[in-house]
Structure 1
Amino acid sequence: MSRVPPSAIITDQDKAMKKAIQIVFPKARHRWCLWHILKKILEKFKGYREYKSIKFCLKNVVYDSLTKEEFEERWGRFIEKYHLESHEWFLELYNERYYWVPTFVKDTFWAGMSTTQRSESINAFFDGYVHHQTTLKEFVEQYDKALAKNVVNENTEDFNSFQSSIPCFTHYAMEKQFQSVYTTAKYKEFRKELLGKVCCNFSSCKEDGVISEYEIHEDGAFGENSQHATFLVYFNKDTNEVNCNCRFFEFRGILCRHQIMVLFHMKIDQVPNKYIFKRWSKNIKRSHTKVRINYDNRLVKLETQCFDKMYKVFNEVADLAVDSEDKCEKVVARILELKGELKQEKLFSGSNEPISAGIPTDSTSCGDDLAISKETKIYLIQ
């Protein structure tokens, strides 16, 4: 992790873990798994006559609150309706709302990871390899096979994204822009938002200098049950920055339909570079794909062998220079110089392999740049 601490961590609701994270990673944004919290409803209220009603209403409050103020109002009505003012569990949940309520955590980048995906992704990973009667010895063997399959699937997806593309649904230059840059999976996410703008319409607009405020009314599913919602989008005419209070971009790293509507309204065909994440690009080689995988050492590629050899030397050099700013600058300068020479050799050799230069770099990127930004974000999911 290049000595860079994580900036966002998801765990279950554990007090000891909460305290440890505050000490070890004081700057990390710690969030609780919502799936674990809502699962406890059955345990806490299975004896209540109104259990189903409480569960349904609580989910509406949690998922359908667009703003913090809206959550506070809905939560108060919910507590009053079911006379839960003295219920210790709900009192504790409310006091810790900054750790689990979506509207309080969506301003942080989570790469779109939702709490329900935790168990689903594990089940999908081991599907067909592990069952409830699997022994520990068999598990180790089957884990190797599951990992091998996962690596093959990832390589296949990378190849398909680079060698082929799915057709655009519209004639918009913006869609073509994302189709040419993003992986197939991420392009589909953007296209879903692009098509979703048909459910939106402008409600009003206010201007204050270079900042314009737009009200976007959306007819459709929002959260669990709501069918109508109004979103506020702010546009800066000087910088072409566009921000929406739904925080979809901040949470997932994909422009939301409300932002797209305002960009079109302002006749901006090409999305500013800050909204194109290098981490979603199909034209970069991700460092983790070069790390040795233990499922079958016979299958280690030449590229992986070379990476292992260089990585060991790089670590030794970094350890020698880590205690001095001058030494650090000297190492970085030498490596960047070598990097330039290697890029020139690749260009002159006529290699068809993509070079990451020219891809917009953002603070959440996970590319192969040797100069590690202090804002590099790494996410730990447990």
Structure 2
Amino acid sequence: MLFVCAKEGKYVAKIENNGVVEENEETEEDGKGIPRKRARGCSTVKCGCKAHLLIKYDKWSSKWKVTVFTDAHNHPLVTPSKRMRMKSNRHMPKAVKNLTKAFHKENLGIFKVTSIFGGEHIGFDNRDCYNHLRNVRHRELDGGDAQSVLVYFRNRQAQNPQFLYAIQCDDNGRALEAMGGCPPTSIITDQDMAMKVAIAQVFPNTRHRLCIWHIKKKFVEKLSQVYFKKSKFKKDVKICIWATYRKEDFEKRWIELMKENGLESNEWLQQLYDIRESWVSVYNRGTFFAGMNTTRRSEGVNSFFDGFVTSTTNLKEFVVKDDQALKRIVKRENDEDFESEHKFRIVNDNEFLLKHGAKIYTRNVFNKFNDEMSGVFHYKVEEVGNANGIQSFIVKSKEHEVKKFEVPLDLQTYMGVCECQNFEFVGILCTHILKVFVRLDIDAIPDHFILPRWRQKANKFRIIDSEGLVHDDGKEESEALRLGHMCQESTKLACLAAPSNEAYMIYIEAMNDLSKKLLKVPKNTPNLNLIVLDPILMI
């Protein structure tokens, strides 16, 4: 058995193809070599050191004997403090490998593993951690991305029999099926023609709107000669798009803007005007969008996967990361539910509408409702007519006389609508209707102006994962959810009992006793209703 120095031998470069220095040829399917250029500035530890040790096994004495030993090194020796940097001394303990995988799974920095274990003293560094993750990925993807995803789904189903998955082999009409046949109320996308055609075909009754952020971005590109001038154009465009509440007012202001800036013949602006109903706010405020105008920032899919998915994420990792992203969303919702239910908003006793809003709305929605209430003092109300029990009010701004809104209101049911259509678009009462309520001494928000999605405890119950059922205290679970939860628990017990006959007999005996007890329990439970949550806005 021969032991040599780590610096034994010399690096041999290949001089081929007109003098180009190359190394380590790869091979094509036809067997021909593919030359690969040597990376610039590469180095080698090889220096032709002759130090070596040769030992042989003596079968007569059953001992190993040293036959040759040469300790003449032709290079400086590595000091004890640096020996862990040598390849032969590098080693990742199992605990380090497990922690590296755990950090990667939870999207924590891998470099922290080295700091925790003191890798420089044990014999590994950040590069070893990344290499270990690479090897893990390769092992998981031995059968390919798709096969790995199938294996992952099967494992999830083994852990939780209620976990369902389906593989679709075609692309015809699957989006609607994925949402249980219930189309979304509204969709926001960019100006992609393929999506426009597909949405019109699959969701014919859904309000499709274009992302205003993408359109505003093009204003800078297409109209730079006007947009960056020292003029009112930029400000006037914003007012025209965002602060116009009547269609005729928008169209009038748009035409005036084009004339003032000499843009009547601009083809791009003309095209935008022709499709104004698909992006200008005033044409879409009658449809519920939860106040969203853009797919950007927290409203986009990028935010959902932020910190979980990168350009190097493979298909198997994507499915796992999707699970983690969903759990993060659920955790945030649970945190917000706790804040809303167990922390009380501070409101003056004489502000009855605010007190009612604080009791029913979640924390974030109440803050928006409070903003609308704060604007009440900047408006005044005039009664302008009454027809068939419908009282019409004009709500005017005290600062800007031109800023006024008509609010027709049924004095019996308090059903009404404001010209600004804030409730229809955002789902929260506007300042103008609230001003009328204050005028009429209405102390509570009428039920028809409270969306179920904005209420506290809007999340009645849900199954997060195989760990169990999450539901509000005092709420009846549906039969389907109870069945799923019991199947999960029964499966866990069955897995514990399966390995041994003794455990199996204990399990069967306990199940028989349980069956006798359950047969004595009445089957019908009063007030057992499956609660269907509100449709969710899809973007």
TM-score exceeds 0.5:
yes
1:168 to 332, 347, 355: 347
How many residue pairs match? The answer is: 313
1:301 aligns to 2:468 (yes or no): yes
Contact persistence 2:358–2:366 (CA under 8 A): yes
Distance 1:50 1:192, change over 3 A: closer
The structural deviation recorded for 1:8 is 1.0
Aligned to 2:188: 10
Residue 284 (structure 2) pairs with residue 105 (structure 1): yes
| Shift in alpha-carbon separation, 1:49–1:96, aligned structure 2, 3 A | closer
* Most deviating of 199-208 and 247-256: 199-208
The answer to whether the 8 A contact 1:213-1:234 is kept is: yes
Q: Does 1:44 align with 2:222?
A: yes
* C-alpha separation in 2, matches of 1:114 and 1:286: 28
Judging changes above 3 Å, is the alpha-carbon distance between structure 1 residues 36 and 169 closer, same or farther for their aligned structure 2 residues?
Answer: farther
Equivalent residue for 2:336, pick from 132, 157, 162: 157
> Structure 2: how far apart are the matches of 1:23 and 1:145?
33
User: 1:50 and 1:254 mapped to 2: Cα distance?
Assistant: 34
Task: Identify which of 218, 232, 236 aligns with 2:410.
Answer: 236
Q: Counterpart of 1:136?
A: 313
Q: 1:303 to 1:257 in 2, by over 3 A?
A: closer
Q: CA 1:237/1:105 → structure 2, altered by over 3 Å: closer, same or farther? A: same
Using the TM superposition, give the Cα deviation of residue 303 of structure 1 relative to its aligned residue in structure 2, in angstroms.
Answer: 4.5
Q: TM-score, normalised by structure 2?
A: 0.52
Query: Which one of the candidate residues 261, 265, 277 is aligned to 1:86?
Result: 265
Aligned-partner SS, 2:396: strand
SS at match of 2:296: helix
- Distance between the aligned counterparts of 1:105 and 1:168, measured in 2? 34
- Contact 1:107–1:247 under 8 Å retained in 2: yes
Query: What is the letter of the counterpart of residue 269 of structure 2?
Result: F
Partner of 1:216: 395
Displacement, 1:57? 2.9
Distance 1:308 1:121, change over 3 A: farther
- The one-letter amino acid paired with 1:80 is K
Query: CA offset at residue 219 of structure 1?
Result: 4.8
Q: CA deviation at 1:136?
A: 2.7
Question: C-alpha displacement at 1:2, in angstroms?
Answer: 3.2
Aligned to 1:245: 419
Counterpart amino acid of 1:39? K
- 1:219–1:228: 8 Å Cα contact kept in structure 2? no
TM-aligned CA distance change 1:227 to 1:157, over 3 Å: farther
Deviation at 1:343, TM superposition (A): 4.0
Contact 1:197 1:260 in 2 (8 A): yes
Instruction: Check whether the contact 1:197–1:261 (CA below 8 A) recurs between aligned residues.
Output: yes
Q: Structure 2 stretches of 5 or more lacking a match?
A: 1-178, 472-479, 488-521
- Distance (Å, rounded) in 2 between the aligned partners of 1:130 and 1:5: 28
Distance in 2 separating the partners of 1:282 and 1:266: 27
Q: One-letter code of the match for 1:15?
A: M
TM-superposed deviation, 1:33: 0.6
CA contact (8 A) 2:220 2:227 kept: no
The answer as to whether partners of 1:181 and 1:283 remain within 8 angstroms in 2 is no
Residue 108 of structure 1, CA deviation = 0.6
- Aligned residue in 1 for 2:537: 379
Are 2:376 and 1:197 aligned? yes
1:339, 1:253 → 2: CA distance?
41
From 207, 210, 225, give the equivalent of 2:386: 207
8 A contact 1:194–1:257 mirrored in 2:
yes
Task: Report matched runs for 1:315-326 at 5 Å.
Answer: none
Residue 525 of structure 2 aligns to a residue in which SS?
A: helix
Residues 253/303 of structure 1: CA separation in 2 closer, same or farther (3 Å cut)? closer
Find the residue that maps to 1:379 and give its secondary structure: coil
Going from structure 1 to structure 2, the CA distance change for 1:120 and 1:379 (only over 3 Å counts) comes to closer
Contact residue 390 and residue 408 of structure 2 kept, 8 A: yes
Change (3 A) 1:177 1:56: closer
TM-score by length of 1: 0.71
Distance 1:110 1:103 in 2: 13
Aligned 8 A contact 1:130 1:139 in 2: no
Higher helix content, 1 or 2: 1
Q: CA deviation at 1:302?
A: 4.3
Contact 1:197–1:258 (CA<8 Å) still a contact in 2?
yes
Contact 1:5–1:378 (Cα < 8 Å) also in 2: no
Q: Which residue of 2 aligns with 1:341?
A: 525
Q: Which residue of structure 2 lines up, in the alignment, with residue 290 of structure 1?
A: 463
Aligned counterpart, 1:64: 243
Any unmatched runs of 5+ in structure 1?
221-225, 314-337, 345-356, 358-367
- Taking only aligned residues, the RMSD between alpha carbons, in angstroms, comes to 3.4
Q: Distance in 1 between matches of 2:191 and 2:404?
A: 32
Cross-structure match for 1:118: 296
Distance 2:524 2:234 in 1: 59
Instruction: Find the counterpart in structure 1 of residue 515 from structure 2.
Output: none
CA distance in structure 2 between the aligned counterparts of 1:341 and 1:285, rounded to whole angstroms? 22
**Is contact 2:277–2:283 with CA below 8 Å preserved after alignment?**
yes
- Secondary structure of the 2:375 match is helix
Q: Does 1:20 align with 2:198?
A: yes
Percentage of identical aligned residues: 32
Cα-to-partner distance string for 1:13-58 (whole Å, 9 max, x where unaligned)? 1222212211111111111111111111122123x25544443332
CA distance in 1, matches of 2:435, 2:429: 10
Question: Matches of 2:256 and 2:452 in 1, distance apart?
Answer: 43
Q: Secondary structure at the match of 2:182?
A: coil
C-alpha displacement of 1:192: 1.7
Q: 2:531 aligns with which of 369, 376, 379?
A: 369
Change (3 A) 1:198 1:380: same
| Secondary structure in structure 1 of the residue aligned to 2:409 | strand
Q: In structure 1, what is the Cα distance between the partners aligned to 2:303 and 2:188?
A: 20
Pair 275,81 (structure 1): closer, same or farther in 2 beyond 3 Å: same
Q: How many Å separate the matches in 2 of 1:25 and 1:202?
A: 41
Tell me how far 1:262 sits from its aligned partner: 0.7
Deviation sequence 1:176-227 (CA, Å, 0-9, x none):
222212211112221221122011112553333422221112257xxxxx89
